[in-house]
Amino acid sequence: MHKIVTAAACAAVCAAAHADGGNYAIDPTHTFVSFEVMHFGTSTNRARFDRKEGTVQFDRRARSGRVEITIDMSSVNSGVPPFDAHLRSKDILNVAEHPNARFVGDRFTFVDDKVTAVAGTLTLLGKSHPVTLRATRFNCYDNPIFKREVCGGDFETVIQRSQWGVNYGLPAIAPDNVRLVVQVEAIKQ
């Protein structure tokens, strides 16, 4: 009986701890933004931004949150150095004039205690437009290495690059639709 009570008490405390809102720091080793775009209607080119930083405030009980991620655009990595150089050039991402992109998500949608979407604003090449990232998976767990709660998931959306003025190669080389794929994990502070 004592064990059951202890377990129940622990479960209640743990649940309460999980339900508390709090600040989370992006885990850069499990947070990446990649994009996918069709190449000549044949195959999908993929590239990833290797450097980013950000913070998350997240409150499952209040069903609210805010995420801010800044992406170093010069860290674009497709595995093809000449393609990366072209991506960084004035033709496409114009990294010299616009070194960072930024996503601020402040409208979290929940189903039960899981985040299903984060809506916000993506600023790229100095232009800001609304973007909604949909969660294809979301979860929180106790990370045995950090000994802290980690929340995260996989998010994606499709943007029209021309909205941000990225018109190079439209429409034959690469179409307007670009799929953004986001892995994110954030550690409770």
Partner 1 sequence: MKPATCLLAALGLWSSSGSWAQPATYVLEPGHSFVHFEVLHFGTSTSSGRFGPIAGVVTLDRAAGRGEVSLSVPTAGVDTGLAVFNARLRQADLLASTEYPEAYFVARSFRFEGQTLAEVRGEFTLRGVGQPLSLFARRFACRLDEGVEVCGGDFEGEVLRSNFGITYLLPFVGDRVRLVVQVEGRRR
Nearer to partner 1, 124 or 186 (CB): 186
Which of 9-17, 104-112, 138-146, 161-169 is the region at the interface with partner 1 (rule: CB under 8 A)?
138-146
Which of 18-26, 46-54, 116-124, 162-170 is the region at the interface with partner 1 (rule: CB under 8 A)?
46-54
By the rule CB under 8 A, 34 interacts with partner 1:
yes
38, 51, 106, 140, 161 from 178: Cα distances, Å: 8, 20, 22, 29, 7
- What binding mask, one character per residue, do residues 155-174 give for partner 1 by CB under 8 A, x or -? -----------------x--
What is the C-alpha to C-alpha distance for residues 114 and 183, in angstroms, rounded to an integer?
Answer: 16
| Torsion angle (degrees, nearest 10) of CA 108, 110, 115, 120 | -20
By the rule CB under 8 A, 149 interacts with partner 1:
no
* Radius of gyration over every alpha carbon of the chain, rounded to an integer in angstroms: 19
CA angle 188, 122, 170 (to 5 degrees): 140
Nearer to partner 1, 166 or 184 (CB): 184
Residue choice 140, 159, 178, 187 for contact with partner 1 (CB under 8 A)? 140
55, 81, 142 from 27: Cα distances, Å: 9, 27, 14
Nearer to partner 1, 5 or 172 (CB): 172
What is the C-alpha to C-alpha distance for residues 107 and 16, in angstroms, rounded to an integer?
Answer: 23
How many residues touch partner 1 under the rule CB under 8 A: the total is: 34
Sequence-ordered list of residues with C-beta below 8 angstroms from that of 143, at least 6 positions apart, any chain: 149, 150, 187
Which of 13-21, 34-42, 54-62, 111-119 is the region at the interface with partner 1 (rule: CB under 8 A)?
34-42
* DSSP-derived 3-state class of residue 107: strand
By the rule CB under 8 A, 147 interacts with partner 1:
no
Q: Which residues bind partner 1 (CB under 8 A)?
A: 29-30, 32, 34, 39-46, 48, 50, 77, 79-80, 82-83, 137-141, 143, 150-154, 172, 183-185
